[in-house]
Chains A and B, each alone.
Chain A
Amino acid sequence: MLLTVLFISTVYAAEPDYEISKSLKDSLTDSKAKSRDNAIAILSEDLSEQNILVLNKLKNGLVYYDSQKEIFLKESVESNCYIQPSTSQKVCNLKLRRSGISTLQKKKIESILLKSALFSSNDSDRAKAVKKLLEIESQNDLPSEETIDKLIRQESQKEIYKDLKIVEALIQSRSPELGVQKLISCIDILEEKGNAACIQAIDRLKLSTNSEVSQRATKAASSLSFSKSISDFFEKIFFGLSLGSVLVLAAVGLSITFGVMGVINMAHGELIMLGAYTVWIIQQIMPQSMGLALFISIPCAFIVSAFFGILIEHFVIRHLSGRPLETLLATFGISLILQQLVRTLFSPLNRAVATPEFLQGSVQITSNLSITCNRLSIIFFSLVVFAVIVLVMKKTRLGLEVRAVSQNRAIAKAMGIKAEKVDVLTFGLGSGIAGVAGVALSQITNVGPNLGQSYIIDSFMVVVFGGAGNLWGTLTGGLIMGIANKLLEPVSGAMLSKIIILIALILFIQKRPRGLFPQRGRAAED
């Protein structure tokens, strides 16, 4: 991305009469991707600034042509404007065809460009190129030792220098004739870095004929594998936490309504779905700023789902008070209606919700452990939502009333609390939180009519496991289930782990019929 930005500025400085040869033009304007092989060959013959620019554009899929087979270079992915290389003129909003390219060809261009980027005068380009070298799959593709030597001697930047040293070590590790001292210092460097390529190099050195080298390599390998297993464990815990926080988010609204009103809302999943669709709608309205749209969706989704929740409460649940099982059936009916409503309004196909850039990618913690941004933000998000709910429950008048009603409805009423009003507000709150959960889920899974169904059973299990109406129970329950699932999954497979958790839960309920943290204060039996 940076590279393209860089080269755009060079376009204006370029000679106006950049000539695209006929054979190059032909191979760029053919509809078959195969012909691009030829184009790459022609372009890489002479790595002039102009050719590098075209290669870069080609790699990023920004080369276009019109029906006259005239070549256009698109400014950037988002832009609608093109530059005609032969005249350097800028034209916008054309209907052009793209000169497509395959991943293989992209890689080829990358490796061609890599070599020139290694000698680039721009620090960040060079740093990137060197980092790329560290991740190269086959070490045979690494540049020669002399090249690296030359680079090391020229390098002034500390970070790049360090990385280059590792590359050098990687290359040297392949030559056993180097001498024991040299190889051992190689191993030291490799062990410190400890990424996949380094581990392979060390593994190879384990087979060295020299016992000193092989011993040192074995030691390095075992210490690396130890640190890997530790980071694997933390990774699993992190995965569990992130799955658990999704479950908590999906279940917490359900838990509130169940605690206060004693009804299970089977349409809860569909309220989550409505929240996710809200994100989609808002992204459609403002396609230019996906990130902002996501933030705006949070309150919007809350309002949409809360609105539907209040409707459900007003027209159905209120009339079924004291009949929890019938409520379950009626809300199931509502869930079917909402599902079909979405299917009829938005088509049965899934909707594409974009992930804003700041949620993509991952944070490197150690060389083996990296944490993905979107999961991290979901954990963070659900903790915030949870904290807000706890605050509402503990610090506001509404929270006080809610707790009073859930502990003993009759007495609360006698104390002058309007239980009906509390019901509506709680149901609205619980439903609104479902909508907020939908915003989070839209970032990790499909947004379609079936979204709710795939989370509803899990949410039930969390609520039942944690103890209905108990917020902390829901939090602990969700996190335990998430972590247990992720610890089991590598052992038993994804299918079986789910079944095991369900069965364990069924058995657990026998032991503690009211969950981990049973709610106190209600009558012993209804």
Chain B
Amino acid sequence: MNELILQEKFLSKETKGFLLITTLFGILVVILSLLGESNPLHLPVYVVNLLGKYVTYAILALSVDMVWGYLGILTLGHCVFFALGGYVMGMYLTRSIGAQGVYGDPILPDFMVFLNWHELPWYWQGLQYFPLAAVLIVAVPSLLAFVFGKLAFSSRVSGVYLSIITQALTYAMMLAFFLNELGFGGNNGLTDFKTLLGFSLQTDGIRIVLFALSVLVLCLSYLLCRSVLISKLGRLCIAVRDAENRVRFIGYRVENVKLLIFVLSAAIAGIAGALYVPQVGIINPSEFSPVNSIEIIVCVALGGRGRLYGAVIGAILVHIAKTCFTNLMPEFWLFALGALFVLVTLFLKDGVAGMINSWINSHHAKTEMRMA
């Protein structure tokens, strides 16, 4: 399968198909949501909001797939980058409400007022400006990924050890953000957002826009990942996954390849987090929880790792299942999720995408046979 990628053009059939379907899906949802409420096809805005959330998870899954599927590193802490992006966005949203907080303080966020802070910490400065926030959304996760990756890859930590320390990283970050002294709102996190770029977040319009934006970002990140994979870097990346030592012996700096892909993936995860926060209206340390990161891994595994669109399918399927289960049979959600983990790893090594792929292949083979 991956050998095929190497020979393929940038806009392969799969890529085109994915882009087409995603765009159509996005446009359809937007149109349906704009229909009058009396129309039986009308899509309520809360569903759009929900779909928007799924799409951000899909972007995150995409970034995880880059690291796990193409680089072979099982990261159990990718939500760190997601949550950091989310926190930057949350800080921007918190700052931008100005004096509209409950204490009416023009500068300090509410939680700082009631914890008797008198000054805004330096890392909150300037975050009321969107351009700075936008830069930081990408920069902060990338920087952490760079530092962590630099240390880990150059000392050749690998395999299960690497997985465990990515988990340690996200666990440490979770504990750190729980600290009230750190100035990120502690356990409550950041909430009660009002406006984004001057638009009230409490209107249906902005929700639809945010959804559309998430779909757009999904497409763009897909293209970005795709173009990286097509490039020489991408080929090296797959080579590192399959035979790290050989690549090293040939003379490539394996750690640099790993680092580049890792940082890129972190940046995408950060953007996903930033899109997630205004749609759900809250960011708090439980986003760092190790279980979240593992949940995303199972999304990728279900969808089929090493296939970008697989990650997207997986993320959307798992989260639809989650929504349904928590509504219909709350007690059974963990059973279902647990069984999913076991069954996918045991029987569905290539995930749903792999299944689709082999189905298409056999279909092709059949038609070819018929043609012959």
Binding site for B on A (CB under 8 A): 258, 262-264, 316, 319-320, 323-330, 332-337, 339-341, 343-344, 457, 460-461, 464, 468, 495-496, 498-499, 502-503, 505-507, 509-511, 513-514, 525-526
Known: A340-B335, A499-B176, A502-B175. A333 touches B340 (CB 8 A): yes
Q: Are A264 and B160 in contact (CB under 8 A)?
A: yes
With a CB–CB cut-off of 8 A, which chain B residues contact A468? Answer: 160
Least CB distance, B147 to chain A, in whole angstroms: 11
Chain A residues, Cβ within 8 Å of B148: 506
Given A326-B345, A340-B331, do A332 and B169 touch, yes or no (CB 8 Å)?
Answer: no
* CA of A359 to CA of B73, assembled, Å: 46
Shortest Cβ distance from A316 into B: residue: B342
Q: Which residue of A lies closest to B73 (CB)?
A: A325
Tell me if B168 and A461 are in contact (CB < 8 A): yes
Across-interface contacts of B143 in A (CB, < 8 A): none
With most chain A CB atoms within 10 A of its CB, the pick from B164, B169, B176, B339 is B164
Can you pick out 27 interface pairs between chain A and chain B where the beta carbons lie within 8 Å of each other? A264-B163, A323-B345, A325-B163, A326-B345, A328-B74, A329-B298, A332-B341, A334-B341, A336-B341, A340-B332, A341-B335, A457-B167, A460-B168, A461-B164, A461-B168, A464-B165, A495-B178, A499-B175, A502-B172, A502-B175, A506-B148, A506-B169, A507-B151, A510-B155, A513-B156, A513-B157, A526-B159
Q: Within 8 Å CB of B298, what residues of A?
A: 329, 333
> Taking CB as reference atom, which chain A residue is nearest B178?
A495
> Which A residues lie within 8 Å of B152 (CB)?
509-510
Rounded to whole Å, the gap between the CB of A504 and the closest CB of chain B is 10
CB of B338 within 8 Å of the partner chain: yes
Say if the beta carbon of B323 comes within 8 Å of chain A: no
Chain B residues within an 8 Å CB radius of A323 = 345
**Min CB distance, B206 to chain A, in Å?**
36
Q: How far is the CA of A464 from the CA of B294 in the complex (A)?
A: 19
A337 touches B168 (CB 8 A): no
Contact flag A329-B165 (CB < 8 Å), given A324-B160, A337-B339, A340-B338: no
* B245-A525 in contact (CB<8A): yes
A256 → chain B, closest Cβ, in Å?
Answer: 15
- Cβ B165 vs Cβ A325 within 8 A: no
A146 to B98, CA, bound (A): 72
Report the minimum CB–CB distance from B162 to chain A (whole Å).
Answer: 9
- Interface contact B163-A328, CB-CB below 8 Å: yes
Residue of A with least CB distance to B337: A336
Question: Are the C-beta atoms of B334 and A339 separated by less than 8 Å?
Answer: yes
Q: Are B161 and A464 in contact (CB under 8 A)?
A: yes
Chain A nearest CB: distance from B199 CB in Å? 38
Complex: A468 Cα to B159 Cα, angstroms: 13
Q: Please report the C-alpha to C-alpha distance between residue A507 and residue B179 in the assembled complex, in whole angstroms.
A: 22
Interface residue SS majority, chain A: helix
Q: How does the 8 Å CB contact mask read for B310-341 relative to A, with 1 for contact and 0 for none?
A: 00000000000000000000011011011111
Interface contact A329-B175, CB-CB below 8 Å:
no
Interface presence of B346 (CB below 8 A) = yes
Q: Among A323, A325, A339, which residue has the most Cβ atoms of chain B within 10 A?
A: A325
Contacts of A326 in B (CB 8 A): 345, 349
Which residues of the other chain, A, contact B335 by a CB distance below 8 angstroms?
336-337, 340-341
Interface mask (B179-200 → A, CB under 8 Å = 1, otherwise 0): 1000000000000000000000
Q: Are A502 and B294 in contact (CB under 8 A)?
A: no
Give Cα A506 to B161, complex, Å: 10
Chain B residues close to A by CB (< 8 Å): 74, 148, 151-152, 154-161, 163-165, 167-169, 171-172, 175-176, 178-179, 244-245, 290, 294, 297-298, 301, 331-332, 334-335, 337-342, 344-346, 349
Query: Once the chains are docked, how many angstroms separate the CA of A325 from the CA of B167?
Result: 13
Interchain CB contact under 8 A, B160 and A330: no
Residues of A within 8 A of B74 (CB): 325, 328
Chain B residues lying within 8 Å of A343, measured Cβ to Cβ, are 331, 334
Do B346 and A319 have beta carbons less than 8 Å apart? Answer: yes
Complex formed: what's the CA distance from A341 to B331 in Å?
A: 10
Q: Is the CB of A337 within 8 A of B338?
A: yes
A316-B346, A319-B346, A325-B160 are known contacts. Are A495 and B338 too (CB-CB below 8 A)? no
How far apart are the CA atoms of A501 and B339 in the complex, in Å? 34
- Given the known inter-chain contacts A264-B160, A336-B334, A510-B151, please indicate yes or no for A329 contacting B172, CB distance below 8 A: no
- Would you call B172 and A499 a contact (CB within 8 A)? yes
**Bound-complex Cα distance A116 to B175 (A):** 54
Least Cβ–Cβ distance between A497 and chain B, in angstroms:
10
Report whether B157 and A509 are in contact in the complex, using a CB–CB cutoff of 8 Å: yes
State A327–B156 Cα separation when bound (angstroms).
22
Q: How far, in angstroms, from A258 to B244 measured CA to CA in the complex?
A: 23
> Which residues from chain B contact A262 at a C-beta distance below 8 Å?
160
A residues within 8 A CB of B156? 513
Whether the Cβ atoms of A506 and B339 lie closer than 8 Å is no
Assess A509 versus B165: contact at CB under 8 Å? Given A336-B334, A526-B159: yes
> How far apart are the CA atoms of A332 and B164 in the complex, in Å?
13
Which residues in A have their C-beta under 8 angstroms from that of B155?
509-511, 513
The distance from the CB of A466 to the nearest CB of chain B, in whole angstroms, is: 12
State A251–B317 Cα separation when bound (angstroms): 35
B346 to chain A: closest residue by CB: A319
Cβ–Cβ contact B342 & A503, under 8 A: no
Q: A496 CA to B177 CA in the complex, in Å?
A: 11
Given the known inter-chain contacts A329-B297, A503-B172, please indicate yes or no for A336 contacting B158, CB distance below 8 A. no
Q: Are A506 and B176 interface neighbours, CB within 8 A?
A: no
* B161 and A330 form a contact (CB under 8 A): no
CA distance A316 to B294 in the complex (A): 18
Task: Find out whether the CB atom of A333 lies under 8 angstroms from the CB atom of B168.
Answer: no
* Residues on the A chain within 8 Å of B301, using CB: 329
Q: Quick one: which of A319, A329, A503, A510 contacts B341, CB cutoff 8 A?
A: A329
Q: Which of A264, A329, A514 contacts B164 (CB 8 A)?
A: A264
Selected from B159, B294, B346, the residue in CB contact (under 8 A) with A332 is B294
A335-B168 in contact given A329-B297, A330-B346, A525-B245 (Cβ < 8 Å):
no
Closest chain-B Cβ to A313's Cβ sits at a distance in Å of 13
Set of chain A residues within 8 Å of B179, measured between Cβ atoms: 495-496, 499
Q: Which of B164, B245, B338 contacts A464 (CB 8 A)?
A: B164
Q: Known: A264-B160, A325-B163, A329-B301. Contact between A336 and B338, CB under 8 A?
A: yes
Instruction: Compute how far the CA of A525 lies from the CA of B201 in the bound complex, rounded to whole angstroms.
Output: 52
Question: CB within 8 A of A506: which of B160, B168, B334?
Answer: B168
> For residue A344, which residues in chain B have a CB less than 8 angstroms away from its CB?
331
**CB atoms of A333 and B167 under 8 A apart:** no
A333 touches B342 (CB 8 A): yes
CA distance A262 to B163 in the complex (A): 13
Q: Which residue of B lies closest to A323 (CB)?
A: B345
Q: How far is the CB of B232 from chain A (nearest CB, A)?
A: 24
Residue of A at shortest CB range from B148?
A506
With contact pairs A340-B335, A499-B176 given, residues A320 and B165 touching in the complex (Cβ less than 8 Å): no
Q: Which among B161, B169, B290, B344 has the greatest number of chain A C-beta atoms within 10 A?
A: B161
B343 (CB) vs chain A CBs: closest residue: A333
Using A319-B346, A496-B179, A507-B151 as known contacts, say yes or no to A334 and B165 having CB atoms under 8 A apart.
no
Question: Smallest CB–CB gap between B186 and chain A, Å?
Answer: 10
Neighbouring A residues of B297 by C-beta, 8 Å: 329
Chain B residues, CB < 8 A from A513: 155-158, 161
Q: How far is the CA of A333 from the CA of B343 in the complex (A)?
A: 9
Q: Which of A323, A341, A525 has the most CB of B within 10 A?
A: A525
Residues from chain B with a CB closer than 8 A to the CB of A332 are: 294, 341
Given A457-B290, A460-B167, A495-B179, also A334-B334 (CB < 8 A): no
B172 with A506: CB separation less than 8 A: yes
Report B-chain residues with C-beta under 8 Å of the C-beta of A341.
335
Q: A333 touching B171 by the CB < 8 A rule?
A: no
* Known pairs A325-B160, A513-B158 / 18 extra A-B pairs, C-beta < 8 Å: A263-B160, A264-B164, A316-B346, A324-B159, A329-B294, A329-B341, A330-B341, A330-B345, A337-B335, A339-B334, A340-B332, A343-B331, A499-B175, A503-B172, A506-B168, A509-B152, A509-B155, A510-B157
